[in-house]
Structure 1
Amino acid sequence: MTPTSATTSFESLAIGDTIAGTPFAPTRETIREFCDASLDYNPLHWDDAYMKGNFGKTSFGGIIMHGMTNFGILTKMLTDWLYPMGGVHRRLETRWKAPVKPGDTIVPTGTITAKKETAGSRWAVIAVEIKNQHGTTIAQGEAMAEFPPAR
């Protein structure tokens, strides 16, 4: 599935327009690959024996995906949507709400919440969210996109 929106330009953007991103189903292998790529070998992400216990006051019941993978999934959704119409991803802030485990399927979405034109450019604010196959919110936040005027 690719990002979908009837929007083809800044002018056609409307508050409430939605963006649908590509679903992602993490596996033990993709989580381990992120450990290798990020150099983040926290045992939360690879050590089954460690994860049998409690992490602080939380028990995840097994290894979990890196939260930064959520960030990458949201960024992919934004850039896949923006670049064909000349937009640029400028900011992304997120909060992790729930863990993601191997076997889950997560889907990013976005909703345009504001548009603004300034002397130098045009901007859109996008509420972003990732939910899992059960409808649980995994991550949420806000992004900003710029649509530079044609020169």
Structure 2
Amino acid sequence: MTKTTTTDFDTLRDGDTIDGPTFAVSRESIRLFCDASLDYNPLHLDDDYMKGDFGRTNFGGIIMHGMNNFGLISRMITDWLPPEGVHRRLETRWVKPVRPGDVIQPTASIKARQTTHKSRWVLLDVQVRNQKGEQVAVGEAMVEFPSPTGAAA
């Protein structure tokens, strides 16, 4: 496994990895995401609400929006892709809550590559880990590298 910063499709290999930016989660960053997403669910804002059991889970305090993981993964992918590349699909599953004080980082590994008549495709396994190395989100993404003679569809 090698870390890749290249976005040259022909030099990519299965197992190559990509590191995304780290993100320090704070009450302020959670509040800003509430404002941006218009999601003011009390599980992101209200410590008193989160003191008890939430459904079958006791989170022990407010938690970050899961979609913030999605945003970090998207940023990693779009920062890595060449300008003509297209981020086509991203599916994630939240594994563990993220709390203020956590530092998270997305990573990806190349799972498969395929060339078609019009494009070249890369399938990525993606994940987000916290400062303890625990997975907080996992998923899969697909990106498109246009063929040298064609444009992305």
Deviation sequence 1:35-67 (CA, Å, 0-9, x none): 111110110000011011110111111100000
1:101 aligned to 2:70?
Answer: no
Deviation sequence 1:64-105 (CA, Å, 0-9, x none): 000000000000000000035x32111000000000000000
Give the C-alpha shift of residue 137 in structure 1: 0.5
1:131 aligned to 2:153?
Answer: no
Say whether the 8 Å CA contact 2:129–2:135 is kept in structure 1. Answer: yes
Following the alignment from structure 1 to structure 2, what is the Cα–Cα distance between the partners of residues 144 and 56? 34
In structure 1, the residue matched to 2:87 is: 89
Q: Sequence identity, in percent?
A: 61
Aligned residues: 147
Considering only aligned residues, what root-mean-square deviation do their CA atoms show, in Å? 1.1
In structure 2, the residue matched to 1:80 is: 79
Following the alignment from structure 1 to structure 2, what is the Cα–Cα distance between the partners of residues 113 and 36? 35
Structure 1 counterpart of 2:92, one-letter code: T
Bigger shift: 42-51 or 7-16?
7-16
Following the alignment from structure 1 to structure 2, what is the Cα–Cα distance between the partners of residues 6 and 143? 17
Following the alignment from structure 2 to structure 1, what is the Cα–Cα distance between the partners of residues 101 and 12? 35
Extract unaligned runs of 5+ from structure 2.
Answer: none
The 5 Å alignment of 1:2-151 reads: 5-84=4-83, 86-151=84-149
Extract unaligned runs of 5+ from structure 1.
Answer: none
TM value normalised by structure 2: 0.92
TM value normalised by structure 1: 0.93
Give the C-alpha shift of residue 6 in structure 1: 4.3
- 3-state SS in 2 of match to 1:29: helix
Following the alignment from structure 1 to structure 2, what is the Cα–Cα distance between the partners of residues 8 and 109? 15
Following the alignment from structure 2 to structure 1, what is the Cα–Cα distance between the partners of residues 82 and 127? 20
Say whether the 8 Å CA contact 2:5–2:80 is kept in structure 1. Answer: no
